[in-house]
Amino acid sequence: MTSSPRSISINLQHFVLQNYGDEIKKSDGTRMIMLPKEEIQEIANKTFYAEGQFHAIDFLTFEITEEK
């Protein structure tokens, strides 16, 4: 649970998310889920780069590495 509810507006519709895991199901089939920052960082670390692409930013530690 978060310390306070979070609100979001999508196409002028307002939603309130109270707990981690709460979700908004959009009419086009996509979902938006409220996650803790650490989970978002893990997902970004695993999915941001294309296969074989150099990982310049570590989203968990925020370290930037130059490709050699």
- Domain limits of the chain? 1-39
Q: Amino acid letter at 34?
A: M
Residue 34: how many other CB atoms lie within 10 Å: 19
Instruction: In whole angstroms, give the CA distance from residue 16 to residue 24.
Output: 9
Q: What is the pTM of this model?
A: 0.64
pLDDT tens figures, 7-35 = 888 888 899 999 999 999 988 999 999 99
> What is the pLDDT, as a whole number, of residue 3?
63
DSSP string, the chain: --SS-EEEEETTEEEEE-STT-EEE-TTS-EEE---HHHHHHHHHHHSSPTT----EETTTTEE----
